[in-house]
C-alpha cells in the first residue's frame, strides 16, 4: 500500500503541518493514487509523484492564482528537512510548476502529473468527499 511507504508518510506529515486543508488533502491523495498507478507503465519513479502530489497545491495557502510558484517554496522547505530527496528536485518542480491546465510540462513526470491533477476530479474518493460536504457542481468540476 502506497500510504504505508515512508516517503508518503513523511510528505503527508509535512502537508498536514504546513497546510492541512481538507479538500486539498483528499485531492492530493487522489492525484498521487492515479500517478503512482501510471508510474510503472512509463518506468517512472513513484517518489517524485508522492512528493509533488502532497506539495503541488500547498501554495494555495498563500495565493490561489500563483499557487504553483508559491508551492515551490514549500518544496524547498521539505527538501531542506529531507535532503536525501534533493536529487529529484527538478522533476518534482516540473510537476508542481506545470500542473495547471494551460501549462506546458517539460518532462514525462510533469505531463502525467498534469493529467492526473485533472483526472483526480473524477476519482471516486474525491466525488464521495464532495458529496459528503455537499459541494457537488453539475459540471463535475470543483
Ligand atoms: Fe491539484
pLDDT digits (tens, 9 = 90+) for 10-62: 999 999 999 999 999 999 999 999 999 999 999 999 999 999 999 999 999 99
Q: Please give the pLDDT value at position 139.
A: 53
CB neighbour class for 93 (10 Å; exposed up to 12, middle 13-18, buried from 19): buried
pLDDT at residue 126 greater than cutoff 50 = yes
Q: Please give the pLDDT value at position 136.
A: 58
Q: Please give the pLDDT value at position 105.
A: 97
How far does the centroid of ligand 1 lie from the alpha carbon of residue 22, in Å? 13
How far does the centroid of ligand 1 lie from the alpha carbon of residue 57, in Å? 5
Mean pLDDT calculated for residue range 98-121: 96
Q: Please give the pLDDT value at position 137.
A: 57
Phi, psi of 48 (to 5 degrees): -60, -45
CB 68 within 8 A of CB 24: no
Q: Where are the alpha helices (DSSP H) in 39-84?
A: 46-55, 67-81
Residue 39 to residues 42, 44, 83, 114: CA-CA distances in angstroms?
6, 5, 23, 13
How far does the centroid of ligand 1 lie from the alpha carbon of residue 113, in Å? 9
Q: Please give the pLDDT value at position 135.
A: 66
How far does the centroid of ligand 1 lie from the alpha carbon of residue 102, in Å? 13
C-alpha cell at 64: 490561489
Q: What is the CATH number of domain 2-133?
A: 1.10.3210
Which pTM value belongs to this model? 0.93
72-99 pLDDT per residue, tens:
999 999 999 999 999 999 999 999 999 9
Mean pLDDT calculated for residue range 1-15: 97
Phi-psi region of 20 (alpha: psi -120 to 50; beta: other; left: phi over 0): left
Mean pLDDT calculated for residue range 101-113: 96
Amino acid at each position: 500500500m502506497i500510504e504505508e511507504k515512508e516517503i508518503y508518510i513523511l510528505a503527508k506529515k509535512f502537508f498536514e503541518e504546513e497546510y492541512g486543508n481538507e479538500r486539498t488533502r483528499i485531492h492530493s491523495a487522489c492525484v498521487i493514487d492515479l500517478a503512482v498507478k501510471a508510474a510503472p507503465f512509463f518506468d517512472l519513479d513513484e517518489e517524485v509523484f508522492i512528493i509533488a502530489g502532497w506539495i503541488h497545491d500547498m501554495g494555495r495557502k498563500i495565493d490561489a492564482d500563483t499557487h504553483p510558484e508559491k508551492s515551490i517554496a514549500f518544496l524547498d522547505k521539505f527538501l531542506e528537512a529531507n535532503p536525501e530527496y534533493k536529487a529529484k528536485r527538478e522533476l518534482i518542480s516540473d510537476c508542481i510548476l506545470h500542473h495547471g491546465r494551460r501549462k506546458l510540462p517539460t518532462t514525462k513526470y510533469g505531463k502525467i502529473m498534469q493529467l492526473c491533477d485533472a483526472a483526480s476530479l473524477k476519482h471516486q474518493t474525491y466525488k464521495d468527499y464532495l458529496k459528503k460536504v455537499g459541494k457537488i457542481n453539475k459540471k463535475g468540476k470543483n
